[in-house]
Amino acid sequence: MPAKPLEQYERLVKAARSNLRAAEVAENILSTVEAGLDFLSSANQLDLESKVEGKSYFMFALDEPRKRSRPINAALFSFDLEAADESLSALLGGSLPEGATADEVDRALYTAVMAYCASADLLKSNDKKTPGTFFEILLGHTASNWFQSSPSRQITVPTLGKEITLPTDLNFDLGPAKSRIHMPVKLSTRERVVQVWAHQRVLDGMHGVGRFRGLLMACAETNKQGDASVVEVCLPNQWIAYQMYIAQMYRVYYLDPPEKYLTLGTEYPFINVSRMSNFFFEIDNLTGPT
């Protein structure tokens, strides 16, 4: 019998804290996902009315005590444990699953994220912290193997008189021949997203424009209205103003990309938003000369 998702999560956090890139982290991610899928397979699934064109959503549900999960994109979630395990193992280790399509890559990652997040929604009350941490560990570990570099979570500000250190999102040093990577990881963005552009601006100011390329990794912008329907909450005009006047994010990747953000790439200021699988397919182009 597999350990429960919350217990597996605790083991994962402990392993990630000591070394985010360790093989033990991948093992614990896989066990957490397995435990999550196992737990969710015994929960009810209730369809939600989708107000997002072209997407279907459902939620997991428990009675007594009454619990409801966040909305799950039906096309991106799969209970096929073997497929998820195989694809996920490859991605976590730094390579594409053999012959994998973009759809399979996105589905493996989305399933992994929701396996834990939906479990936490049902097993805890109003927990916003551990789902975000799980997402950050999953992508941080994966990216560290793809970049073959351990990320840092702080950065030194070299002022003339003294040195100060700032906490940041994940950042990767890929050596002098490549751009560095500034990688904020957020399940959803909403009003806090200005932080992403502001941190990029601080990095540009400290180390020169273009020294760090900003890659925002996000999951979805879905919002449940009561327990009935799902909308996507997007603020494209604010993103445009941030990209024009604060700093330039190089890429934005979503597991469940909102249409309103995908179209930001077609008009000035050309914010390049795409599905997460693109990160893996285009990674060689992300760090070299433009």
- How far apart CA 175 and CA 6 sit, in angstroms, is 37
> Which 8-state DSSP code applies to residue 267?
S
- How far apart CA 157 and CA 203 sit, in angstroms, is 9
Which C-beta is closer to its own copies: that of 14 or that of 211? Answer: 211
Which C-beta is closer to its own copies: that of 152 or that of 195? Answer: 195
Q: Specify which residues 254 forms β-bridges with.
A: 218, 275
Which C-beta is closer to its own copies: that of 136 or that of 256? Answer: 136
Looking at residues 129 to 158 of the shown chain, list those that interact with its own copies (rule: CB under 8 A): 157
Site stretch for its own copies (CB under 8 A), options 50-58, 77-85, 204-212, 281-289: 204-212
Site stretch for its own copies (CB under 8 A), options 91-99, 106-114, 137-145, 164-172: 164-172
Q: Whole-number minimum distance, CB 214 to its own copies, in Å?
A: 14
Q: Residue 240: exposed, middle, or buried by beta-carbon count in 10 A (0-12, 13-18, 19+)?
A: middle
- How far apart CA 265 and CA 3 sit, in angstroms, is 43
Residue 190 in contact with its own copies, rule: CB under 8 A: no
The candidate with the shortest Cα–Cα distance to 258, out of 216, 220, 217, 218, is 220
* Peptide bond connecting 65 to the previous residue in cis, omega within 30 degrees of 0: yes
Looking at residues 260 to 279 of the shown chain, list those that interact with its own copies (rule: CB under 8 A): 267-268
Residue 78 in contact with its own copies, rule: CB under 8 A: no
Residue 205 in contact with its own copies, rule: CB under 8 A: yes
Q: Can you give the binding site for its own copies, defined by CB under 8 A?
A: 157, 159-161, 164-167, 191-192, 194-195, 197-199, 201-202, 204-206, 237-238, 240-242, 244-246, 267-268
